[in-house]
Amino acid sequence: MRMSPRARAILVVLSLLLAAAPARQGLPAGGAGPIEHREFFERLASLPPIMRDGFLDEQVNRLLNGTGHVVSVDELSRYNRGVRIIATESATSSMNITYYIFTDQRSFLTSLKKNDAFAFSGLFKVYTPLSSRRDSYLFDVVLVEGAPVRR
């Protein structure tokens, strides 16, 4: 069977694109189970910076289990929740992650203090890169459950 030059060119381009596309590895795409923070951050940090946003896109709308240190707790309405907990990631030193955790549990306004460890599980809604090096991110999370970790 003889191919036209145009069809051959299209076939070559498609073959190159498929060969260049990275194999899907690591964590499953959205909705395929919870994200465990240690595995998640090891995978994120191991990726080249140019691929990190693509990896994070696949994690949006998944359940994220994490631990952070409380920076502040304030009243701010987003995602139909009235309280925002700002926490920094404690699982990795190579990535700078800040969580904006949104909840309706007003008791956190008084029970959480600066530098408290906070374990949480919540829906990972959106991420914002904070540097062009892709080593610093802001994650919005809608809290499902969470509690201070007492030492």
* pLDDT digit string, tens, across residues 56-77: 999 999 999 988 999 999 999 9
Q: Which residues pair with 78 in a beta bridge?
A: 81
Q: In which domain, by residue range, is 103 found?
A: 33-149
Residue 7's pLDDT band (cuts 50, 70, 90): low
Query: Does some domain include residue 124?
Result: yes
* pLDDT digit string, tens, across residues 83-93: 999 999 866 66
Query: Does some domain include residue 17?
Result: no
* pLDDT digit string, tens, across residues 11-37: 555 454 444 444 334 444 444 677 777
Residues contacting 27, CB < 8 A, separation 6+ = 35, 39, 40, 43, 55, 58, 59
Please indicate whether residue 36 or residue 151 has the higher confidence score (pLDDT): 36
Query: Does some domain include residue 13?
Result: no
Query: According to the model, what pLDDT value does residue 151 have?
Result: 63
Query: According to the model, what pLDDT value does residue 37 have?
Result: 72
- Domains: count for the chain: 1
From residue 35, alpha-carbon distances to 40, 148, 149 in Å are 6, 20, 19
Query: According to the model, what pLDDT value does residue 102 have?
Result: 97
Mean pLDDT of 4-11: 67
Element (H, E) at 85: strand 81-89
Domain at 71, CATH number: 2.40.50.140
Rounded CA separation 150/6 (Å): 67
Query: Does some domain include residue 16?
Result: no
Considering the entire predicted model, what is its pTM?
0.75
* pLDDT digit string, tens, across residues 81-129: 999 999 998 666 678 999 999 999 999 999 999 999 999 999 999 999 9
Residues contacting 140, CB < 8 A, separation 6+ = 78, 79, 100, 102, 124, 125, 126, 127, 128
Contact present, 110 and 89 (Cβ < 8 Å) = no
Tokens 């919005």, residue located: 140
Query: Does some domain include residue 12?
Result: no
Handedness of CA 46, 48, 50, 54 (dihedral sign): negative
